[in-house]
Amino acid sequence: MKKSFWNYLYSFLLSIILVLLIGIFSYLNKYNAHNTKNHFFNNENTLTLSGISGQEQPGGEKRIIFLYDLIRQKNEQSQKLFHELVKERKIEEKKAKVAIIIDDMGYQREIFEQITNFNFPVTISVLPFLPHSRLVAELGRKKGLNVLLHLPMEPLDANVNPGKGAIFTTMNEQEIRMKIIANLEDLPDIDGVNNHMGSKATENKYVMDIVLKELKKRNLFFVDSMTSPNSIGYKLSKEMGIRTAKRNIFLDNEQNISYIYNQVMALKEFALQNGQAIAIGHPYCTTISVLSEIKSLLESAGIEIVKLEELLE
């Protein structure tokens, strides 16, 4: 009888203790859920160690932070960081690209030195038979730049002289071939060719067919400067299986800072709309001044300045 009594009393006391523990846990859980929002994170959303146990609250009360609260908040931080990384990755994947060609190189070495100080890659297009043509082309290759022959070609305006080594529509096939060979001998170590002037010659299928066949023999690419809206150079290059591209923006038809800056903005918009763009500028002081500051402008819009060869088709 006495043993049964003590067993009953023991069970009764355990039941009371269990009920009390459940009540305390329920109360603390409700209190914690009401007050935990951001209380144990500092202003930089990092855990505050003093908040893990017994942080003082208004009114002199202390709250208790449960382990699952810490885990939940950590998960929220991780999810936020993950979504930010995904967002940045999407921007990275959608990044547009531009390439910049500087035409008419070969007159001065000093201009070349300024251009190679840019903090982004440029392509130099060198006119043949100038005082510094071969030197500039060689230095460009050593610095890892894409180097082009800036091939002089006949313009629509008969009063304009395209320069030594020019190809004219009045030439026969042998004369055109000999001109190309002479130009390439003056600048032997090049990656490709773009036209200097040539608004008349690049409209002429007979001439362009001969020119492009010579380039294809030597595995050189062709960039159509698009000095005429009727140029067939780009289209014919694609038909012949020659790596090619075409100019989208001229940067400095007017040699003033405001105009060139506006053309840079046009380049940015074109690249964002089309995924890529090619610009042509010249070794003018105003052009160099503007170009020296464009990297951050374009990069802030998600545009990368790349070597020309990356944009060839």
Q: Which domains does the chain have, with CATH numbers?
A: 2-93 (no CATH), 96-311 (3.20.20.370)
pLDDT at 51: 41
175-178 LR contacts (CB < 8 Å, sep 24+) = 176/207, 176/210, 176/211, 177/210, 177/214
pLDDT at 94: 55
Which residue matches tokens 């405001």? Answer: 258
| Residues with Cβ within 8 Å of residue 207, at least 6 apart in sequence | 153, 167, 169, 171, 176, 201
pLDDT at 17: 76
Structure tokens at 107: 């007159």
156-201 confidence digits (pLDDT tens): 999 999 999 999 999 999 999 999 999 999 999 999 999 999 999 9
Backbone angles phi, psi at 240, to 5 degrees: -90, 0
CB 115 within 8 A of CB 122: yes
pLDDT at 16: 75
Distance of alpha carbon 249 from alpha carbon 189, whole angstroms: 27
Which residue matches tokens 């091939």? Answer: 151
> Cβ–Cβ contacts within 10 Å for residue 201, how many?
29
Listed as ranges, residues in the chain with pLDDT below 70 are 1-12, 14-15, 18-19, 21-94
12: enclosing H helix or E strand: helix 2-35
Q: How far is CA 34 from the centre of its chain?
A: 48
* Angle value at C-alpha 262, between 261 and 266, nearest 5 degrees: 115
CB 160 within 8 A of CB 148: no
Which residue matches tokens 């730049």? Answer: 145
Q: What is the dihedral of CA 148, 153, 155, 160, to 10 degrees?
A: 90
Distance of alpha carbon 308 from alpha carbon 45, whole angstroms: 44
CB 68 within 8 A of CB 75: no
